Amino acid sequence: MKHTWQDFADAAPELAAFGAQRLKAAPAFLATVRANGLPRVHPVTPIIAEGHLLLFMEPTSPKGHDLQRGSGYALHCGVADNDGGEGEFCLTGHAVLTTDPVMRELASRYGYQPKDHYILFELTVESAFSTIYPGGGPPVRRSWKASVDGDNQL
């Protein structure tokens, strides 16, 4: 079952709003798995557009090859300082390569104008978590996980 950003936002609106805010503070970091099983991490600029989480990239990008091969991903927001800055936010899921011109136009409208040859992925949202560090106190963590039967869990 494909879980869109909208599915996540409907199930966990506060966590999704926090995540959207943190992911706008680019760059974020995308982790994928290479064919040999080793991890790969890249800075990226994710786009949240009308219920979709989208990502443009060069067609020759190693991370794109990982995603097309079926590698899952982890997407982590940038953090401003060693104290956790404005908080941490991370997602996991899979990516779907899309050639839909409507999705490309949508991503361009909400993100940036990509080069014509860039490819576009929609990222599914299978889990999300956040950590904030209020006033130097203990960390506050929230998480969400999509379930296979459609009953999402906080």
* CATH, residue 27: 2.30.110.10
Task: Using a pLDDT cut of 90, give the percent of the chain over it.
Answer: 78
Radius of gyration over alpha carbons of the chain, in Å? 15
Question: How far is it, in rounded angstroms, from Cα 3 to Cα 76?
Answer: 18
* pLDDT at res. 151: 52
In three-state form (DSSP H/G/I as H, E/B as E, the rest C), the secondary structure along 81-139 is CCCCCCCEEEEEECEEEECCHHHHHHHHHHCCCCCCCCEEEEECCCEEEEEECHHHCCC
Q: Is residue 92 part of a domain?
A: yes
Contact 59, 114 (CB under 8 A): no
Question: How far is it, in rounded angstroms, from Cα 48 to Cα 136?
Answer: 30
pLDDT digits (tens, 9 = 90+) for 13-45: 999 999 999 999 879 999 999 999 999 999 999
Q: Is residue 145 part of a domain?
A: no
Q: Is residue 141 part of a domain?
A: no
Q: How many residues does the chain have?
A: 154
Question: How far is it, in rounded angstroms, from Cα 53 to Cα 47?
Answer: 6
Q: Is residue 97 part of a domain?
A: yes
Number of domains within the chain = 1
Task: Provide the token pair at 146.
Answer: 């999509």
Q: Is residue 32 part of a domain?
A: yes
Residues 6+ apart with CB under 8 A from 96: 2, 121, 122, 123, 124
* pLDDT at res. 149: 61
Q: List the chain residues with pLDDT less than 70.
A: 1, 149-154
Helix, strand and coil in the chain, % to nearest 5: 25, 35, 40
Domain of residue 82: give its range. 5-134
Residue type, position 5, single letter: W
* pLDDT at res. 153: 53
Helix (H) or strand (E) holding 17: helix 13-24
Q: Is residue 139 part of a domain?
A: no
Which one-letter DSSP state was computed for residue 150?
Answer: S
The pTM (predicted TM-score) of the whole model is 0.91
Q: Is residue 142 part of a domain?
A: no
* pLDDT at res. 87: 92
Q: Is residue 20 part of a domain?
A: yes
